[in-house]
C-alpha cells in the first residue's frame, strides 16, 4: 500500500534537491514565472504562482528542514534551535510555541506550499533570523531579520459612561508609544518589536471597531468622533493602557475636570456612594455615603503620614458613576484601588467586616456576597443605558491583577479582624461593578453593618473610624511590602 504522506514528503525533498542542483546552471535571463533567490554564494530559481512563490526551495536554500504532517495538515520548519509551524490556508504561525497572526495565508501548491513574498519575508525568514534584500534579478537572503522579534498583543476593552479603557497586554516588555493620526485614527508604535495580535482577542466595545497589526504597529479604528484622550504603560505584566473618548475639534475646549497625575503613583481611595445616593442608612440616621467619606479621609491622612501618595475619587456632596471611579484610578496609574462601603442586612444581628475582590465569571462566593454586590451595583449604576455587568466580559485584561487583588484583600481583612476584634466574615469574591476595569490590585471593603444597632453606634464614632483607617492602612502596607 502506498503511503500518501510519504509520497508527499518524497516530492517535497526531490523538488528541493532539483532546485539546489540547478543553482550553478542559472540562465542569464530569469523566466517571468520564476524568481531567483541567493544565499551564501548559491542561487536557485523558484517557481512563481501568480503573486505567490514556492516556499520549500527557499527554506532548503538556507538549510532549514521542512516536514509535512498529513494528519495535522501542517508544516514544521526546523532551523537550529528555532521551530516554526504553519498550515496552508491559515494565517496563524506558531513560532517557538507562540501563536502569531499573519497578514495572509500560504496555499497548497505543486511543490508543496506557496506564499506571498511578504509572508516569506515577515513570517518565515524573519523568525529564523533572515531577511530578503532586493537584487536586480530577484532577492538575496541575508542574516538579520527585517522585522524585530515578535511580541504577542492581547487586547481587551471596557466601555464606561463617557470613556473606553483599552488594555493591550504584551507577552514581554517592549518600548511602545501611542499617538493620534492626522486622519483621526490611533496608532501604537513598537520600536523594538513586531506586534502580533493574539488570535483569541475578541473585543466587545461600542467605541473600538477593530485592531490590526502591520508588523510594526497596532492600528486602532474607532467610532466617529472617538479619539485618544491619554495613554500610559504599566508593568507586571507589561501593558499599554489607552483612554478613549469623544474628541472635539479646535477650538472647542476639552471636558472639564480631567484627572491627571503628578508625582508618584498614588493609592486611590473610593468613598462609596455620593451625591443623592446615600447608600445604607442606620436607625440613628448615619448613612453610608457620609460614613465612607469620613473613613476615607482618616485613611488618606494615615497613608500620607506613612509616606504614600493618595487620591480620592470624590469629594463631599459629589456623585460619580461606578465605572468612572476605576477609570480615575487607571488614569492616575494607581498602585492600589480601595472602595469603602458599609453593609446592611434584613437580620439586625448580622455584623462584622468583609473584604471583596473581583469575580470574573459573574459568580459570587455565596448568596450573601451576591446580594451585597447586587445592592451596591444598583445603587450607583451608570447612566449610559447599558448593563454594567456586561463590562465584566473584559476579564482578559483584569485577570492579570486578580491574584494581587486576592492578596490585598487577605492582608486588609486580616488586619481588620486582628486590630479591631471584629467578627471575621472572610474574604469573598463578587461581581462588583466598581471594581470592573481596574488594572491594578482592587478591593471593596465593607467596614461593618449599619443594620446592626451596636455596630452602627460604633461606626458613628470618630475613634472607631480612625481605628478602621489604621487597620486598613496597615493591611495595605503589609501587601505592598511583600516581595
Cα 467 to Cα 420: distance, rounded to the nearest angstrom: 7
How much is the average pLDDT of 133-139?
Answer: 92
Question: How would residue 23 be classed by pLDDT, with cut points 50, 70 and 90?
Answer: very low
Domains and CATH numbers, the chain: 4-143 (3.30.457.10), 150-246 (2.60.40.3500), 267-480 (3.40.630.40)
pTM over 0.85: no
Q: How far is residue 258's CA from residue 286's CA, in Å, rounded to a whole number?
A: 32
Task: Give which of 78, 83, 79, 119 is closest to 99, Cα–Cα.
Answer: 83
Average pLDDT over residues 2-7: 45
Digit-coded pLDDT (tens) for 233-285: 877 778 888 888 887 554 433 343 445 556 789 999 999 888 888 888 999 99
> Which pLDDT value is given to residue 316?
76
- The residue ranking higher by pLDDT, 31 or 81, is 81
Tens-place pLDDT, residues 301-356: 999 999 999 999 988 777 777 667 777 888 888 999 999 999 888 888 888 888 88
pLDDT band at 430 (very low <50, low <70, confident <90, very high): low
The mean pLDDT value for 16-39 works out to: 59
Q: Say whether pLDDT at 449 is over 50.
A: yes
Amino acid at each position: 500500500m502506498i503511503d500518501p504522506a510519504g509520497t508527499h514528503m518524497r516530492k517535497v525533498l526531490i523538488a528541493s534537491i532539483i532546485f539546489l542542483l540547478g543553482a550553478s546552471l542559472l540562465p542569464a535571463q530569469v523566466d517571468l514565472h520564476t524568481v531567483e533567490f541567493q544565499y551564501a554564494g548559491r542561487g536557485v530559481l523558484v517557481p512563481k504562482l501568480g503573486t505567490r512563490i514556492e516556499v520549500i526551495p527557499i527554506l532548503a536554500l538556507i538549510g532549514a528542514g521542512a516536514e509535512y504532517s498529513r494528519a495535522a495538515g501542517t508544516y514544521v520548519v526546523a532551523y537550529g534551535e528555532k521551530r516554526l509551524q504553519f498550515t496552508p490556508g491559515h494565517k496563524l504561525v506558531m513560532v517557538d510555541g507562540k501563536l502569531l497572526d499573519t497578514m495572509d495565508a500560504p496555499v497548497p501548491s505543486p511543490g508543496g506550499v506557496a506564499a506571498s513574498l511578504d509572508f516569506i519575508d515577515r513570517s518565515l525568514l524573519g523568525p529564523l533570523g533572515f531577511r530578503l534584500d532586493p537584487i536586480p534579478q530577484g532577492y538575496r537572503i541575508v542574516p538579520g531579520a527585517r522585522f524585530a522579534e515578535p511580541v504577542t498583543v492581547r487586547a481587551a476593552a471596557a466601555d464606561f459612561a463617557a470613556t473606553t479603557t483599552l488594555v493591550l497586554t504584551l507577552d514581554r516588555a517592549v518600548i511602545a508609544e501611542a499617538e493620534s493620526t492626522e486622519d483621526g485614527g490611533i496608532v501604537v508604535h513598537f520600536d523594538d518589536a513586531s506586534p502580533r495580535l493574539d488570535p483569541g482577542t475578541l473585543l466587545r466595545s461600542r467605541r473600538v471597531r477593530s485592531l490590526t497589526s502591520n508588523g510594526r504597529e497596532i492600528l486602532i479604528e474607532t467610532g466617529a468622533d472617538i479619539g485618544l484622550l491619554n495613554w500610559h504603560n504599566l508593568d507586571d505584566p507589561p501593558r499599554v493602557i489607552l483612554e478613549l473618548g469623544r474628541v472635539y475639534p479646535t477650538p472647542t475646549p476639552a471636558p472639564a475636570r480631567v484627572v491627571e497625575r503628578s508625582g508618584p503613583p498614588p493609592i486611590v481611595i473610593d468613598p462609596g456612594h455620593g451625591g443623592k445616593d446615600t447608600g445604607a442608612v442606620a436607625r440613628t440616621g448615619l448613612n453610608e455615603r457620609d460614613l465612607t467619606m469620613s473613613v476615607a479621609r482618616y485613611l488618606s491622612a494615615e497613608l500620607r503620614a506613612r509616606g504614600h501618595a493618595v487620591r480620592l475619587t470624590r469629594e463631599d456632596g459629589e456623585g460619580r458613576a461606578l465605572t468612572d471611579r476605576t477609570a480615575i484610578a487607571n488614569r492616575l496609574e494607581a498602585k492600589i484601588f480601595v472602595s469603602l462601603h458599609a453593609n446592611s442586612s434584613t437580620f439586625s444581628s448580622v455584623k462584622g467586616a468583609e473584604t471583596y475582590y473581583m469575580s470574573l465569571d459573574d459568580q459570587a462566593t455565596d448568596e450573601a456576597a451576591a446580594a451585597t454586590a447586587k445592592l451596591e451595583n444598583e445603587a450607583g449604576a451608570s447612566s449610559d443605558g447599558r448593563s454594567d455587568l456586561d463590562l465584566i466580559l473584559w476579564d482578559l485584561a483584569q485577570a492579570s491583577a486578580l491574584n494581587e487583588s486576592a492578596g490585598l484583600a487577605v492582608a486588609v481583612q486580616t488586619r481588620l479582624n486582628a486590630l479591631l476584634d471584629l467578627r471575621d466574615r472572610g474574604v469573598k469574591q463578587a461581581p462588583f461593578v466598581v471594581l470592573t476595569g481596574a488594572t491594578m490590585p482592587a478591593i471593596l471593603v465593607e467596614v461593618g453593618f449599619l443594620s446592626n444597632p451596636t455596630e452602627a453606634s460604633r461606626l458613628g464614632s470618630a475613634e472607631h473610624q480612625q481605628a478602621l483607617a489604621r487597620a486598613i492602612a496597615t493591611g495595605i502596607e503589609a501587601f505592598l511590602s511583600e516581595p
